[in-house]
Amino acid sequence: MKHDRELVGAGTALVTPFRVDGSVDLEVFRVLVRRQVEAGVRLLVPCGTTGESATLSPEERELLVRATVEEAAGRALVVAGTGSNDTRLAAAMARAAAGWGADAVLSLAPPYVKPPQDALIDHFRAVAEAARVPVVVYNVPSRVGCNLRAETTLALAEVPGIAGVKEAAGDMDQAMEILRSKPRGFAFLSGEDALALPLLALGAEGVISVVGNEAPRDLVELVTLARAGRIAQARAVHERLLPLMRANFCESNPIPVKAAMARMGLLDERLRRPLRPLAASRVAELEAACVAAGLTCHAASSAAPHPALVR
C-alpha cells in the first residue's frame, strides 16, 4: 500500500553500519531499514547526524538514500538528511537527494558560519527552490552553532516548499511559540527524544528520534498514543524509554546508540573517526537503560548477531 505523504508520526534518524574496513555495510543497513518499516515507523531519515553524515561521501549518501527508498517501497516516507554551510552545496545536495527518490529532505542549518537570521531565511529559501521535494528545516544549535529563532522558523513556514521543522534546540518556550503560531499544514517534528511526549501533547505532528533505532515499535506506540490524546498510556511508554533516551546522549550521538544496537545483535560497534566506541565507564549505564526499556541486551562480545552479520 502506498504511504500517505504527510510528515507526521514516528520517525527514526537511521544509524549507518560499517564493515571492518570502514566501508558502509549496505546489507546490514537494509536489514535495519526493513526492521523500521515492519515496526510501523512512518518517517525514515538516512544520512542525518545519527547516520554520521559528516563522514559520508556523496557516493555513500546516494547508496544509503537509494537503499532506504527501495526498502521503504512506499510504506514510509524517506526524508534524506542534507545540509552544508555553503548554500550552493546545500541546494545541490537537496536536489540530488530528490533525484535519488527521497520524498523530502531534512536540511541542516548551516554549521560553523553562524549566519544572521535573515540570511538563514535566504539560505533555506534557496534550498527549497532547488529541492523539488518538501524541505524540513533542522534546528540543532548545539551542533551547528546558531539557533533558528521562533520568528525565523515561522517566517520559513510561509516559504513555498518548506514543509516543516525538526526542532532540537531543547527550548520549550521557543517550541511552544512555534506550535502556537505556525500555519496549518506546517509540520513540527520534535528532534529531542525526551521532549517528544510533551511536544506531541502540545500539538507537534511527530518526532525524528534516535531511540527509534533501538526500539522502533515502542516509539511508534508512544507517538500513536500521544497523537490520539491517550496521554496516560503514552506517558507509561515514555517513562519506560526515558532512561534509554537519556543514555543515548551520555556521549556524542551516535556512539551510545551504536553500542546499544551492538549489544542487541543488530550491528557491529564501528564508528568513523573522530568518533570511537562507547567508553567503558558508560557501559553499565547504557545496559541498565536497555534493560529498563525492555530490550534484550548482552555484553558486546556475546550478543547473538543478526543473520545479516553472519558472513
Catalytic residues: 138, 166
Specify the amino acid at residue 77.
Answer: L
| DSSP 8-state assignment for residue 279 | P
Q: Which of 71, 13, 64 is nearest to 189 (CA)?
A: 13
Specify the amino acid at residue 58.
Answer: P
Helices (H), ranges, the chain: 26-39, 58-72, 87-99, 117-131, 141-144, 150-156, 172-181, 196-201, 216-227, 231-247, 255-263, 280-292
Lookup: cell for 292:
529498563
CA distance 164 to 279: 36
CB 97 within 8 A of CB 82: yes
Q: Identify the residue whose cell numbers are 507526521.
A: 8
Lookup: cell for 170:
531543547
CB 79 within 8 A of CB 45: yes
Compute the 3-state secondary structure of the chain and give helix, strand, coil in percent, each to the nearest 5.
50, 15, 40
CB 26 within 8 A of CB 65: no
